C-alpha cells in the first residue's frame, strides 16, 4: 500500500509553494511593510527605494481624490486642513478621548461611534485613512513579489484597547488584507532582535513612537516569548516632544507676548511643528548640542536657538511619564530593575539622547540600539507572518502575549466585576457565576466593560447583550455562568448560560467605539468606487516603466549595432522611439502599451540581424568539428 504524505497543521500541502505573507507596522508617523525573503526578514522598498511610508493622507478632490505618503507630505504645509497625519491617535476614539485635539492642523469632528476628520471629500474616519495607508503597503508587497498577498501580521501598541484593535482590523479589511494576527509592537521588536535564539532571561522593550508609548517586560526561554507585564500610554509619543519644542521656541522668540500653538492658523501650526521636528532631529545627532528653529508665521518670524539641555528640561514631564509606566510594569511583573538583563529600544523617538540617557539611568545599563528603531517592529512582524503562513520550516516561535486592560461585567449598583485581569496571558478563557437580582427574573442584561476602575462610569463600554428565557426562580437561585474568551489578537467573545436550564447567549464583542458591519460595508462600497481609478493609475505607471525600459534597450542596441540598419529602417525605428517618448507623458495606459508594442514589432528584424552577427562572430575561426 502506498504511503501518502500529509502536511503539518498550518503548513502548505505543497512544500514548494510559498505563501506571500508580510508584517506591517502601521505607525503614527510612518509605516513599513516587511517580508522574509531567502530566510532573512527585510523591509520592502517602494519604486524609488524608500522603505518608509509617511503615515500621511491628503484629500485633494482631484483625480483619484487623494495623495498618500511622501506625495501627501509635500502638500501638508499648503493644505493642512485636508492633510491627515498622526491618525493612529484617533483610532477607536471619540473626540473627547483625544489629547490636545485642538492642536491638530485639521478639524476633528465629534461623530457617533468614532471621531472623524472633516475633509474636502466629506468626513473621513480614522479607519478609512488608515486603510489608505494599509492598501498602499499591500500594493507595494504585491508588486515586490508579483503575486497576491496571502495575509499580514499587523502590529499595534501593547496598550491599545479592544476598540483600537478592532478599528485596526476594520482598516485592514477595508484595505483588502487578510489579518493573520495582531501582535503587540514590543513583542514584534523582541522577535526581530532574535532574542529567542541569542539570549534567555527577562528583557524590557521600551517603545516610543510618534504617537504612542509602550513598555513590555518579557521572559525569553527556548523560543518562548512570555510577556509578563505591559503598560504605556496610547497618547504619548514623539509628536508631543515636537509640540513641547514648539512651545519653547515661541517663548524664546516672542518672550512675554508668545502665542500658543492653539491660537495659530492651521497652516502656521503645520509649519511650526515641521520646523520643531527638524530641530529635534538635529539635536539628536551625535555631537550636536544646539540647533536653530526658524519658521515664518503670520504673527512674525519664529527664530530661536535651542540647546540640548533646554530641550531636555522642556520635555522632562513627557520623559517622566514614560518612566512612570516602566516602574508600574515592573511592579506588575513582580520584578526589580536589577532583574532586567537588557533593554531594547524601539521607535524613532528613542533616537533622542534625552530618552536614551533617562532609560540608561533608570536601569543602570546602556540600552540595546543596534537595530534600526524605525524598522525593527516591521521585521519582527514579518518573521511571525512567515511562520503563520506555513513557510517557516525552522523552529517555531511561541508568543504568550497579554491583554493590557482588565475585562469585566457591570453588576448591580454600577460596579465592575473583573473576570479577566490585566496582564493575563492570551489566548485565555475565564468564567464566573452570577445570579438574578429579583424574584421571577427571566432575563439578564449584560454590560461588558474594560478598565481598571471599580465604577462602570470610569471604564470603557465594549458591548451590551441580553440573556433571555431564564425560567422564573427566586432571586439568587439562578446560576448564570459568564465566560470570557480572548483570542491571540486580543479580541473578545462573551458567552452566558443559565446552568440549570441550559438557556444561553453569545456575542462577538464589537466595541461600541468600533464600526458597525453596515458602516464597514458602506466604506467597502466607497472603496470599490475608487478602485477603478486606482487600477488605472497603477496601469499607467507600469506602462510608463515598460516604455522607458524599451527605449533604453533600443537605444543601447542602436549604439552597438546601428550599422546593420539601412537609412529607411533607422528612420522608422527613430520615428517609433519618438512616439513612445511622447506617449510616456500620457495618462492612457492602453495608448502607451500600443506604441511600445509597435516599437517592439518594428525592431524585431533588427534584433534578428544582431543575433546573426553575434553568432557569426562567435563561430569565426572555428571548424565544424570544434563546434
Give the C-alpha separation, 523 to 521, whole Å: 5
The answer to whether residue 489 scores a pLDDT higher than 50 is: yes
Comparison of pLDDT for 68 and 258, the residue scoring more: 68
Q: Identify whether the C-beta of residue 130 lies closer than 8 Å to the C-beta of residue 86.
A: no
Pairing mode of beta strands 342-346, 179-184:
unpaired
pLDDT tens digits, one per residue of 437-464 = 777 888 888 888 887 777 777 777 887 8
pTM score: 0.71
Q: Specify the pLDDT at position 323.
A: 94
Q: Can you give the length of the chain in residues?
A: 627
Q: Which of 377-391, 484-498, 526-540 has the lowest mean pLDDT?
A: 526-540
- 3: buried, middle or exposed (CB in 10 Å: 19+, 13-18, 0-12)? exposed
Domains of the chain (ranges, CATH numbers):
21-236+318-400 (3.30.420.40), 238-317 (3.90.640.10), 403-515 (2.60.34.10), 525-619 (1.20.1270.10)
The answer to whether residue 596 scores a pLDDT higher than 50 is: yes
Q: Identify whether the C-beta of residue 21 lies closer than 8 Å to the C-beta of residue 153.
A: yes
The answer to whether residue 531 scores a pLDDT higher than 60 is: no
In sequence order, the β-bridge partners of residue 213 are: 208, 233
The answer to whether residue 393 scores a pLDDT higher than 60 is: no
pLDDT tens digits, one per residue of 33-87 = 999 988 889 999 998 899 999 999 999 876 667 899 999 988 887 888 899 988 9
Comparison of pLDDT for 530 and 187, the residue scoring more: 187
Is 252 annotated as catalytic?
no
pLDDT tens digits, one per residue of 541-589 = 778 878 888 888 898 888 888 888 888 889 999 999 999 999 888 888 8
For CA atoms 234, 177, 187, 282, the dihedral sign is: negative
SS3 226: strand
Q: Specify the pLDDT at position 15.
A: 47
Catalytic choice (128, 207, 214, 233): 207
Give the C-alpha separation, 65 to 55, whole Å: 17
Q: Which of 24-38, 246-260, 563-577 has the lowest mean pLDDT?
A: 246-260
Strand segments (E) across 267-332: 290-297, 300-307
Average pLDDT over residues 250-275: 79
Pairing mode of beta strands 224-233, 398-402:
parallel
- pLDDT grade for 1, boundaries at 50, 70 and 90: very low
If you ran DSSP here, which 8-state letter would residue 455 be given?
Answer: B
The answer to whether residue 311 scores a pLDDT higher than 60 is: yes
- pLDDT grade for 168, boundaries at 50, 70 and 90: very high
Is 88 annotated as catalytic?
yes
Give the C-alpha separation, 245 to 413, whole Å: 46
Looking at the chain, the whole-number percentage of residues with pLDDT higher than 70 is: 87
Comparison of pLDDT for 537 and 439, the residue scoring more: 439
Identify the CA nearest to 248 among candidates 285, 298, 207, 290: 290
Catalytic choice (46, 161, 185, 374): 185
For CA atoms 83, 85, 90, 95, the dihedral sign is: negative
**CA dist list (Å): 206 to 12, 209, 318, 502, 550:** 36, 10, 14, 47, 50
Comparison of pLDDT for 17 and 178, the residue scoring more: 178
Average pLDDT over residues 126-149: 93
Is 526 annotated as catalytic?
no
The answer to whether residue 135 scores a pLDDT higher than 50 is: yes
Which letter, b or e, does each residue of 169-192 get, where b requires 16 or more Cβ atoms within 10 Å of its Cβ?
bbbbbbbbbebbbbbbbbbbbbbb
Looking at the chain, the whole-number percentage of residues with pLDDT higher than 90 is: 26
- pLDDT grade for 159, boundaries at 50, 70 and 90: confident
**CA dist list (Å): 314 to 168, 208, 463:** 33, 18, 41
Most trustworthy range by pLDDT among 75-79, 404-408, 486-490, 572-576? 572-576
Average pLDDT over residues 499-516: 69
Q: Specify the pLDDT at position 613.
A: 84
Q: Specify the pLDDT at position 140.
A: 94
Catalytic choice (25, 79, 196, 268): 25
Q: Specify the pLDDT at position 529.
A: 57
Catalytic choice (79, 88, 239, 268): 88
The answer to whether residue 201 scores a pLDDT higher than 80 is: yes
Mean pLDDT of the chain: 83
In sequence order, the β-bridge partners of residue 217 are: 204, 229
- pLDDT grade for 187, boundaries at 50, 70 and 90: confident
Q: Specify the pLDDT at position 74.
A: 87
- pLDDT grade for 196, boundaries at 50, 70 and 90: very low
Q: Specify the pLDDT at position 462.
A: 81
Average pLDDT over residues 594-608: 90
Give the C-alpha separation, 188 to 561, whole Å: 55
SS3 43: strand
Q: Identify whether the C-beta of residue 52 lies closer than 8 Å to the C-beta of residue 374.
A: yes
Give the C-alpha separation, 175 to 141, whole Å: 13
| Close Cβ partners of 591 (under 8 Å, ≥ 6 residues apart) | 583
Most trustworthy range by pLDDT among 151-155, 243-247, 434-438, 450-454? 151-155
Identify the CA nearest to 445 among candidates 463, 423, 432: 463
The answer to whether residue 519 scores a pLDDT higher than 70 is: no
SS3 235: coil
DSSP code per residue over 211-234:
S-EEEEEEEEETTEEEEEEEEEET
Average pLDDT over residues 116-144: 92
Average pLDDT over residues 209-216: 86
Strand order of the β-sheet with 83-85 is: 66-68, 56-59, 83-85
Amino acid at each position: 500500500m502506498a504511503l501518502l504524505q500529509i502536511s503539518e497543521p498550518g503548513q502548505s500541502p505543497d512544500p514548494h509553494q510559498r505563501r506571500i505573507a508580510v508584517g506591517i507596522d502601521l505607525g503614527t508617523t510612518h509605516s513599513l511593510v516587511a517580508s522574509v525573503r531567502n530566510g532573512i526578514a527585510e523591509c520592502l522598498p517602494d519604486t524609488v527605494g524608500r522603505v518608509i511610508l509617511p503615515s500621511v493622507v491628503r484629500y485633494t478632490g482631484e483625480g483619484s481624490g487623494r495623495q498618500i505618503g511622501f506625495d501627501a507630505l509635500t502638500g501638508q504645509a499648503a493644505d493642512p486642513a485636508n492633510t491627515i497625519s498622526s491618525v493612529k491617535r484617533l483610532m477607536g476614539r471619540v473626540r473627547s478621548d483625544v489629547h490636545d485635539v485642538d492642536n491638530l492642523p485639521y478639524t476633528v469632528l465629534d461623530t457617533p461611534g468614532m471621531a472623524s476628520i472633516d475633509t474636502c471629500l466629506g468626513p473621513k474616519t480614522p479607519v478609512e485613512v488608515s486603510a489608505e495607508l494599509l492598501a498602499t503597503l499591500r500594493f507595494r508587497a504585491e508588486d515586490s513579489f508579483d503575486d497576491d498577498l496571502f495575509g499580514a501580521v499587523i502590529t499595534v501598541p501593547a496598550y491599545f484597547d479592544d476598540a483600537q484593535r478592532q478599528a485596526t482590523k476594520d482598516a485592514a479589511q477595508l484595505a483588502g488584507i487578510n489579518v493573520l494576527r495582531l501582535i503587540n509592537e514590543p513583542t514584534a521588536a523582541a522577535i526581530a532582535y532574535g532574542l529567542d535564539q541569542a539570549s534567555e532571561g527577562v528583557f524590557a522593550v521600551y517603545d516610543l513612537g510618534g504617537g504612542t508609548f509602550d513598555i513590555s517586560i518579557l521572559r525569553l526561554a527556548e523560543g518562548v516569548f512570555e510577556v509578563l507585564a505591559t503598560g504605556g500610554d496610547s497618547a504619548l509619543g514623539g509628536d508631543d516632544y515636537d509640540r513641547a519644542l514648539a512651545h519653547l521656541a515661541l517663548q524664546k522668540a516672542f518672550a512675554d507676548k508668545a502665542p500658543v500653538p492653539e491660537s495659530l492658523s492651521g497652516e502656521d501650526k503645520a509649519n511650526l511643528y515641521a520646523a520643531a521636528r527638524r530641530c529635534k532631529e538635529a539635536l539628536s545627532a551625535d555631537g550636536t548640542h544646539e540647533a536653530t528653529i526658524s519658521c515664518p508665521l503670520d504673527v512674525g518670524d519664529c527664530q530661536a536657538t535651542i540647546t540640548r539641555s533646554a530641550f531636555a528640561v522642556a520635555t522632562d514631564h513627557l520623559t517622566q511619564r514614560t518612566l512612570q509606566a516602566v516602574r508600574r510594569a515592573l511592579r506588575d511583573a513582580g520584578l526589580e530593575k536589577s532583574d532586567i538583563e537588557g533593554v531594547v529600544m524601539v521607535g524613532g523617538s528613542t533616537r533622542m539622547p534625552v530618552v536614551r540617557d533617562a532609560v540608561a539611568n533608570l536601569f543602570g545599563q546602556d540600552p540595546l540600539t543596534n537595530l534600526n528603531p524605525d524598522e525593527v517592529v516591521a521585521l519582527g512582524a514579518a518573521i511571525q507572518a512567515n511562520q503563520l503562513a506555513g513557510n517557516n520550516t525552522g523552529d517555531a516561535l511561541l508568543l504568550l502575549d497579554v491583554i493590557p486592560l482588565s475585562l469585566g461585567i457591570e453588576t448591580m449598583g454600577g460596579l465592575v466585576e473583573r473576570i479577566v485581569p490585566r496582564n493575563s496571558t492570551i489566548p485565555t478563557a475565564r468564567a464566573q457565576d452570577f445570579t438574578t437580582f429579583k424574584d421571577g427574573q427571566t432575563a439578564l442584561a449584560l454590560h461588558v466593560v474594560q478598565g481598571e476602575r471599580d465604577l462602570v462610569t470610569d471604564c470603557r463600554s465594549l458591548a451590551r447583550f441580553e440573556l433571555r428565557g431564564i425560567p422564573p426562580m427566586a432571586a439568587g437561585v439562578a446560576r448564570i455562568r459568564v465566560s470570557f474568551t480572548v483570542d491571540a489578537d486580543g479580541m473578545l467573545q462573551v458567552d452566558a448560560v443559565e446552568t440549570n436550564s441550559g438557556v444561553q447567549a453569545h456575542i462577538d464583542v464589537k466595541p461600541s467605539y468600533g464600526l458597525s458591519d453596515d458602516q464597514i460595508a458602506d466604506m467597502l462600497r466607497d472603496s470599490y468606487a475608487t478602485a477603478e481609478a486606482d487600477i488605472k493609475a497603477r496601469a499607467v505607471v507600469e506602462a510608463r516603466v515598460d516604455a522607458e525600459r524599451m527605449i533604453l534597450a533600443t537605444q543601447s542596441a542602436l549604439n552597438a549595432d546601428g550599422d546593420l540598419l539601412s537609412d529607411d529602417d533607422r528612420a522608422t525605428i527613430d520615428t517609433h522611439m519618438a512616439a513612445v517618448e511622447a506617449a510616456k507623458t500620457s495618462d492612457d495606459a492602453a495608448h502607451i502599451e500600443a506604441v511600445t508594442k509597435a516599437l517592439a514589432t518594428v525592431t524585431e528584424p533588427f534584433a534578428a540581424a544582431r543575433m546573426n552577427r553575434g553568432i557569426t562572430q562567435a563561430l569565426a575561426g572555428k571548424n565544424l568539428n570544434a563546434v
